[in-house]
Amino acid sequence: MGNVKQLRDKQPENEKITINLGFVDLGRIDLLVQEGFYSNRSDFIRTAIRNQLDNHVDTVRTTLERHTMELGLRDYSKADLEALRDANEVLHVKVVGLARIAADVTPELALQTIGSITVLGALQAGADIRNALADRIK
């Protein structure tokens, strides 16, 4: 057991959200579930969200291009930020999806290299990083 080491903490693959629905809408969803169209309420809601995202795919694409945002998962490692610091460059994070700042990044390094953070989705960073960058997170 002494030579077992944890490579990294398991990160969640999704994020839980809460929505409020009226009783009639909820009943209609339950009816579709009961009739076998969906396996459960969550399946219906995920499908509805995906359908809406598919309907607006062109808008999302052009908005991403206009704002030069990255789509999906973007990891920022200690080495990435050290290279920016050494090049005297400042990073402006713009992500639609999930942005992760590595656990070994210090608040000092983050302050030196990250000018702003805009994430539409989720930002995973330690509490010390979030506190240090609080005025730069939008």
pLDDT of residue 18: 93
What is the reported pLDDT for 1? 47
Collect all residues with Cβ–Cβ distance below 8 Å to 41 and sequence separation of at least 6: 26, 29, 30, 33
Q: Is the dihedral of CA 122, 128, 129, 134 positive or negative?
A: positive
Question: What are the residues facing 100 on neighbouring strands?
Answer: 75, 124
Domain range summary for the chain, segments of one domain joined by + = 23-55, 65-136
pTM of the predicted model as reported, rounded to 2 decimal places:
0.62
pLDDT at 15: 83
- Cβ atoms of residues 101 and 117 within 8 Å: no
Separation of CA 64 from chain center: 15
Nearest by Cα to 73 from 48, 43, 59, 93:
93
pLDDT tens, the chain, 138 aa long = 455 555 555 666 788 889 999 999 999 999 999 999 999 999 999 999 999 999 999 888 877 666 668 899 999 999 999 998 998 888 999 999 999 999 999 999 999 999 999 999 999 999 999 999 999 998
